[in-house]
Structure 1
Amino acid sequence: MDRSDMGCHFLGNELERLQQLFRAAPGFICVLSGQRHVYELANDAYYQLIGHRKIIGCALAEVLPEVIWQGFVNKLDRVYKTGQPFIGRAVPIKLQRSAGGELEERFIDLTYEAIRDRDNQIVGVFAQGHDVTEAHELAQMLARQAAQDPLTGLLNRREFARQLESLDDEQPTAVLYIDVDHFKIINDRSGHAAGDALLIQIADALQANISCEHLLARIGGDEFALILPRATAQVALEMAHRMRAAVNDLHPIFTGRRYSVSLSIGISIGCPGDGLTFADVLNLADAACILAKEKGRNRVQLSLPTDEEIMLRRGEMDGATHLMEAIREGQVVLYAQRIFSMDLGSEGDPNFYEVLARLREADGSIRPPGSFIPAAERFGLIDHLDRHIIEKVFAHLRKPRRDSITDVCYFVNVSALTLSSPEFPSFIGDLLVEYPDVSPGQICFEVTETAVISNMRRVCHMMNRLVEVGFRFALDDFGSGMASFAYLQDMPVHFVKIDGQFIRGILDRPAGADIVEAVARVARAMNMKTIAESVEVLELLPHLRTLGIDYGQGFALHHPEPI
């Protein structure tokens, strides 16, 4: 074999190898010639994409007529005429992959590039890409999962917030904040599976009343929100009442019980030029929903930016958020007010102080408890706040004192919600382990009479468990609620703090002294000590001693100091 034959043989082998590589390339490839885009070459991946049909030597529009109306021939014409490449990512294309079959949608990454001859004239188009259908569908599924509530299939809170911000703020927009009334009762009585089933039924009932342009989301455990673009207050009210009626028609049966279901719905309207962001409008709707629940539930409350009630609720919501930030950042500070014995000559009594919580603002100013305690109670933060304060008191008692006083007892306010929590004893037990130098006798928990009576059996049970360990209890604001003297004998109480309205009445109301004296006599008979609250003038002291009061507390005796 001469050299020329050897060269031809070598070139033939190389050409065959290149053809094999071309056919086996993982991405699809084809070469289209001339203005009619006639197929010259195509690899296996291209045939797998379009289906096995004869294409070589045929114009693309003849063998793939379904791509004409999808704009692919126009894209090829543009590349052929201008020389500018086309690049597309996850481009949808519908192909008849089998003869007589239905069109199948695929998604492809696609590049069209002009082919030029030696004179730089365009003579064809080179097409290449990858079938990314599976990857695209997986990405879409993950995106849907990230945007959907897994239980109801509605938008979740994050996606709702994202779409909320993208709405046209040049049009009026109505926001409905929807809360399921008494949902916790069903959850507690019939279990979480029943609660989930109810939420699905409610979501279906809500969806049946909206159109495709509305945005409905589940934004909390039993809370939903709805956006009505370009809606007036009247339209929003009609929608809210339809939804409320639809859910009222649900009468689910769980674990043999039939339940009635209702909604409380708050509505706010955002209008161009009102200066409100969509987040503001949502907060107003939330505040209106809270007001609807306070007015009896199963009702609709329309919010206007000028409504004083709505502004109050919104302020409390802001206060709750601020409180959580203060707890996280250590801005809850403790003050103490001394409780004095009325027997000035007595010895051996410990030094009693009531712990009072305050919030320190960024500018150093101090906020009183009245500005954040109601919000903590309303928005379910009181347990978190109580535990934070109790732990700070334990930490304070462990510190060495700067004075010589060692026998100290701090009165710490605790809500009935906190006290009745099954986890509260273990929380206290953990603190006793963490702070072994702190004695239970150094802490007296204060609980209001109205809080105790709201859940008498459970609270008293928890009080008894803590008393057995060595803690003491004081009944705060006695006389302000519904308690009678008979309740006292059922409570493991060491101190009765008489409400300030009765103490102040000693000087100007004849019956005031009689009420205080009666409380003192009954408490003494039950071996309980009495504390007069709100002692704001020294003139009260001789009267309190005469009436048999054991201790006094108020600004006339001591102003609270930081501890």
Structure 2
Amino acid sequence: MANRKKKVLLRIIITSVIIFILISSGFVICIKSVKILLNEGNEATITEISDKNAIVVEDKIKGTFDYMKCISNIFSQQSTFDIDSMLSFLKTETERTSFLRMGIINSEGILKSTDNISLNVSNTDYFNRAMNGDTIISREVIDTTTKEKVFIYTTPLLYDGAIKGVIYGTVLCDNMEEILLSNAGFEGKVKSCIIDKDGNIVVGAKNSKEVVERENIFTNEKSNEESDKTELENFKQDLISGNEGTRVLEINGKKSLFSYSKVENLQDHYVLSQIEQSIISDKDNHIRSMMILLGSFISIIFVMLLIYINEYRNKKEKLIKDIAFVDDITGGKTLMKFKMDIKELLSNNKNGSYALVEFDINRFKIINDIWGYKTGNLLLKHISEVLEEKLCFNEMFCRVRDDLFIMLLNYSNYKDMLERLKVLDNDIRFFEKREPIPNFTLSYGAYVIDESEADIQKMIDNTALARETSKNNCNSIIAFYDTKLQNKLIKQKQIEDVMHSALISGEFEVYLQPKYDIKLGVSIGAEALVRWRHPTRGLISPINFIPLFEKNGFIVNLDMFIFEQVCIKLNEWKGKESRLVPISVNISRVNLKNVEYFIKNITRIFDKYDISPSLIEIEITESAVFDDYENIFEALSKLKEIGFSISLDDFGTGFSSLNILKDLPIDIIKLDREFLNSKDSSKKGEIVIENIVRMANELDLTVICEGVETHEQAEFLNKVGCNRAQGYLYARPMPVRDFEETELWPKS
């Protein structure tokens, strides 16, 4: 034991050293990479500043162009071409703008300014280009009066559709410096100026002292390092060629990062932005120091994590020894083992495509109750044997609990999955030929595993939701978890959020569907149904909320509401001395799980409205009886003692056993519509119905058939002795008011 601990400790130390070396090496590489990234980031930042300044300068120039064109447009609309009048107007404009002076150049090139200067500028580029129709800004020139650097704006002077001269304006170059100051960047430490292609500084911001004090940025810049000389020559060549870029250059003995961006509408000019390398280095060094500190911290965490992982592994090994991974009935995996195995499989096969498929045996409890637990266990073992034989490499299964199984299968597409499950389904149901069990069915749910999904339990939960959906789907043996199912769950949540308030506000309405005597053609009663009249969604069908209410238990409240509404109406009809007919009320199996509470509630209600129990039929489905036979039997016996008639609804939908007809305390059986429809396709169906009706009559049970839609069906039922029917042939479910008018006191 001591040797084992020493080996473990030595392994931890060696592993820790290796990890420390790897982490240290990684951080050296990382720091170098970060340095490169920081340099790239700094270059990107100063380039952005330079570009922004260039754009702002361009916008300033464009705004001045528009202003000059506007003046030209004003002059073109004057009634006479009067230069003196134009100069007077320009003088006023000069006083209220940043122009040093403005003026008119006639077609001969003679300039007249607002401050009475007269020059011949016929040979200048800005005059000739303006006469050719261009609006331009000149290169910087020395003003003849102030001896300062200025830019000259010119635009054609149009009159009668022809160029009669040029409007010009002179602006001090220094006017641009405020623009450069407004976008300094790097906490105001970026210095910017405007230069021409020869490196001459035209405009310098006030914070660019080191740069601005010289006439040309290349003046006296010499370096002994060959790389610096190359950078300087490349910089000069870029300016001459009209290229933009970033360079590291030495100015006044200080290394600086430069970025230069063209000013598009100022010919051969650039915005040059500069920041000293020492400023950038201080910031970068701080980041690198923090990274080293973080790396040291992570190294410590890694060592601690390694120790923790080792401890966890020891506990996990002990857990594996302590917990059995073999299912006690099938001999296969338990759910815990299944989870561990699929987690490992999925992590090692990230490129694989898989689906979880969960299935159970519909009404398995009936098999256990009627044929015994031994037969039920044999069926579970048979399923395990089939899956063990049919599953492929990298596929697995387990029994989750009871009759619930889950499989991890390779997945390619829906069609192949469906075909494969059909084969498995047939192999599993082959058990019927070995044991005396009637036809049983399976419900499947599938979840296609997303490669980004890591929560195994969530995958299993999604598969279970899909399986629950398949139980209500007659068109397919399998349901996939998808966006439709997600949307369905969202809609169910929306219904659950408002169901209590809907019941209080009276959104649920009782509808009545008459039951008819086939021979007499008159109504002999009705079935109470429920409809939800939602304020925004309109009439909601029961199929969209009854199954949900049975799951969440709200069906108890709704059943009591319908029962009370029926009692209210019966009391009202009794007071009007109307023809009274019995009304049947559907009671959910959920209500009958607490028999005493249910009996107490309905007794209170019919006593409150002074209604005889003989006027109310209690309907319960055949499937509810089989799912909880003993409890349902007790509940129905007590209801029978009170005086209610008991109706067995949907007879013929499931494991119909004729034995229950003699044992259950029932008065009426309702043949399911599917049972009736089967007679159309087979003469044998007629014989089955005829014998059920005859036997029920001999047992003194009333038979009513629901879903009657044609005269042929009614005639057939009458012929075999079933004289009561319910269906669209006679009447659809209708509001209570319509039932009163047509069935209780018809007008004719």
TM-score normalised over the length of structure 1: 0.46
TM-score normalised over the length of structure 2: 0.35
Greater helix content: 2
